[in-house]
Amino acid sequence: MRLNTLRHMALLIGLLGAGQSLAESAPPARAEAIFAGGCFWCLEKDFDQLDGVLSTTSGYIGGHLPNPTYEQVSAGNSGHIEAVRVEYDPQRLDYPKLLAYFWPNIDPLNADGQFCDTGSQYRSAIFYANDEEQRLAEASRETLQRSARFTQPIATEILPASTFYPAEDYHQDYATRNPLRYHFYRQRCGRDARLAELWGSRPGR
C-alpha cells in the first residue's frame, strides 16, 4: 500500500513538472508592438480590423520631452512620432503577420510624413523591443525593397522602442467615437487614394 502511494505521488509530481514546463514554453496571452504611420487615428483604426489584435492605443514615442502633449508633438517641438501600440494574441497572430499587415497601410516611400501630414512627427517607423523583432522588421523591409513593387528607396525607419506615452483620451478610439469627422479627415487627407495607388485597389476605411 505504501509503495503504491509513493508511486502515485511520484507520477503526480512528474505530471506537475511536465505541466510547468509546458506552461513556461507556451506563448504569452498578450504581446505588444509599436508602429508609426502618420495620423494615429487612422493607423489605430486599421489595426483594430486585424483578427488577433486585442487593443490599440494612440500615443507618442521617440522624443526628448517627458509626458508630451498633442500640441507639442504636432508642432514638432518634442521629437516624438505619432504611433500606435498594438496589443495582440500571439497564439492567433504573430509578429511577421503584423509586419505584413503594416506595410500596405502606409506610404513607405515618404520620408517626411504621411499623406497630407508633413513633418518628422508623422513619419513612418517600426519600433522593435528586442533583437528578434529588429531582425524580423529589417528582413521585412529588405524583402519589400527587393521586390519589384517600388523603384524608390523605402523610407520607413526601424528604431528601438523607447517610452511610449498614450495620447490624450479624446484621441483614443477616435474613429469609433467620431465616425463622421474621422471619415472626413481620412478622405480629405487622401490616405486611401494614395494607398490604392501604391498597393492596388482596397476597400474604404
Where are the alpha helices (H) located in the chain, listed in sequence order? 2-25, 40-48, 70-74, 95-102, 131-146, 174-177, 179-189, 191-199
Compute the distance between CA of residue 10 and CA of residue 149 in angstroms, rounded to an integer: 61
> What DSSP assignment string belongs to 2-16?
HHHHHHHHHHHHHHH
For the annotated catalytic residues, the residue numbers are: 39
User: To 10 degrees, what angle do helices 191-199 and 179-189 make?
Assistant: 50
Q: What's phi and psi for 150, nearest 5 deg? A: -125, 140
Report DSSP state, residue 75.
T
Distance, CA of 85 to CA of 49 (rounded, Å): 14
User: Distances in Å between the alpha carbon of 172 and those of 59, 115, 116?
Assistant: 9, 21, 21
DSSP state for residue 133 in the 8-state scheme? H
